[in-house]
Chains A and B, each alone.
Chain A
């Protein structure tokens, strides 16, 4: 089946540090979405990207849709404790006559005490 390679799997960072994570695939996607999920909660949409090369910011978050439409990265600047959680990338592509999300395995962000 379709897969997204998301890295890193986990990150230990100091508060105030910048964070970067990315997703790659062999497939071309129409849309890239970045979600954050806290324990026991549903994923919350952070950023949506629609065009190749698009760079979008949401506060301290910046994400880009790769020019080949096969990859995306998410950067978080000046991390704070509430940034802790699991970040998922998801790419949307057409399968048969429907559009579905293909998910990365997630990046777990942990802030060192």
Chain B
């Protein structure tokens, strides 16, 4: 199984809503990532979990809250988002977050904030 799955595929939310994005992998990878991607741009790193510990937070606003319940699951909790947060949110995983890792991406969640 070389797949990273993400749910939901699409999400529309208001600025006062609370929602969560979910990501799952069963490749035994110990590093998991959240990226944000705007149209026609490369992915921008948001968070990295390595061995279930948050190792990188790229100065992401606190309205985005990541959670790694176990080595296979990664969540992104959303609260009080702004319209400019609308984007494709990608989850990725890799073996260990080390120097020769390959990151595998999920299909993404298309988020629209009204």
Interface residues of A (CB under 8 A from B): 30-31, 33, 35, 40-45, 48, 50, 86, 88, 90, 92, 94, 98-101, 103-106, 108
Contacts and interface: CB of A to CB of B under 8 A. Distances in A.
Contacts, number: 62
Contact of B106 (A42, A101, A104, A105): A42
Contacts of B55: 98
B108 A41 contact: yes
Contacts of A44: 105
Nearest to A99: B99
Category for how many chain B residues contact A: 20 to 34
A60 to B, nearest CB: 20
Given A30-B99, A92-B99, A94-B99, A101 B104 contact: no
Given A43-B43, A45-B102, 15 more contacts: A30-B99, A35-B105, A42-B4, A42-B105, A44-B105, A45-B104, A45-B105, A50-B100, A92-B100, A94-B99, A99-B99, A101-B103, A103-B42, A104-B42, A108-B40
A101 B102 CA distance: 10
A88 B97 contact: no
A99 B101 contact: yes
B42 A100 contact: no
Contacts of A45: 102-105
Contacts of A99: 97-99, 101
Contact of A98 (B6, B56, B88, B104): B56
Contact of B100 (A31, A42, A101): A31
Nearest to B4: A42
A88 B98 contact: no
B48 interface: yes
A45 B105 CA distance: 8
Contacts of B103: 33, 45, 101
A98 B57 CA distance: 11
B81 to A, nearest CB: 20
